[in-house]
Structure 1
């Protein structure tokens, strides 16, 4: 899984610094990642990082702007239902770590992802291949949570499956089953929410 989005021709020092920052922030979090570490990962001097961005906060803002531009480009070029997967596939580890860190910037990222997920739901519902929830806004949040949660636990998942890539590949099957077929064979969970009545004997929706 990639943690940066840089084309083959975009190999300037500035681009390498942004890619390194996306990677270091994803691996260590904003507070623990230093400009010195980011510079070393990019193969440049700390002074050059400071020259281009000034502060670590400004570099974080540029990383978030890179994500925002990527989303906008995908929304212009791809079906709405594909955008969330593209974003998480490209920037997933960075987004997971930044969302966990909290703060105004993280709030803005979460809002943007939620909007992308809601657009995906609306597109899928209109096309007839996705079953809309009774609460589509909450459904959008669930899609973001399910997309981000495995990335927050990559170390644990890697220990379970041997490495992170193998873990995500194994999770893909039950997640696809969950999305496609559901999990429960009756309506007891919906009944527990009070949204629908369920026959107490058969556990079927009334």
Structure 2
């Protein structure tokens, strides 16, 4: 296979990631994906065969990114942040659509989140929950949620989604670092005594 074919394949996957994120799997068309990659629809079909196979390659791209980041990053927290920063809109759309592929992606993100909690708890920089598994799921949900609300964030931030994401990153970081409340009323509402949550 010639180098230009490999480059075209990468452009097709990049275009598919963008269009699946923007429009969802069902609404994105092979023609639009081809146009975004600057290739013919026939070439997309030549490389991937079907839209389902192309979606599988997009998911595989995300998983390879995660595996590589896990290999080179020192902290699991950096991995989760990098994954969401690079593929946040795609993950939000694909996780929201459900199905086996979405289940597999969610499980992979849970693995990264579990590793982050284990690393953070062992090193002392992260306070583990009494339910670490639910904590892992909560971190994934909180990480993906801003991308699920990207249109609303953009409108709130004057039409600029990136500005909206940057602004909410600050109070989220404050929430993670310092907590939100100054007393135990939320623990009581959840049916927990303060000592049970430690």
| Match in the other structure for 1:141 | 137
- Is 1:41 the equivalent of 2:36? yes
| Match in the other structure for 1:190 | 187
| Match in the other structure for 1:60 | 55
Among 20, 29, 33, which residue is 2:24 paired with? Answer: 29
Structure 2: runs of 5+ lacking an equivalent: none
Secondary structure of 1:167's partner?
helix
Q: List aligned pairs for 1:2-13, cutoff 5 A.
A: 12-13=7-8
CA offsets 1:33-77 (integer angstroms, 9 cap, x no match): 000000000000000000000000000000000111111111111
CA offsets 1:147-198 (integer angstroms, 9 cap, x no match): 1001011111101102101101110111011001111111111112222169
Give the Cα separation in 2 of the matches to 1:64 and 1:168.
23
Give the Cα separation in 2 of the matches to 1:87 and 1:192.
33
Give the Cα separation in 2 of the matches to 1:12 and 1:140.
37
After superposing on structure 2, the runs of 4+ consecutive aligned residues of structure 1 that deviate more than 2 Å are none
CA gap 1:46/1:175 in 2 versus in 1, 3 angstroms: same
Give the Cα separation in 1 of the matches to 2:80 and 2:174.
19
Deviation, structure 1 residue 81: 2.1
Secondary structure of 1:12's partner?
helix
Q: CA RMSD in A?
A: 1.7
Give the helix-richer structure, 1 or 2.
2
Structure 1: runs of 5+ lacking an equivalent: 1-9, 199-204
Give the Cα separation in 1 of the matches to 2:93 and 2:80.
17
Give the structure-2-normalised TM-score.
0.93
Aligned residues: 191
Give the Cα separation in 2 of the matches to 1:11 and 1:131.
45
Q: List aligned pairs for 1:64-103, cutoff 5 A.
A: 64-78=59-73, 79-103=75-99
| Match in the other structure for 1:4 | none
CA offsets 1:70-114 (integer angstroms, 9 cap, x no match): 111111111222111011111111000000011010011001101
Secondary structure of 2:192's partner?
coil
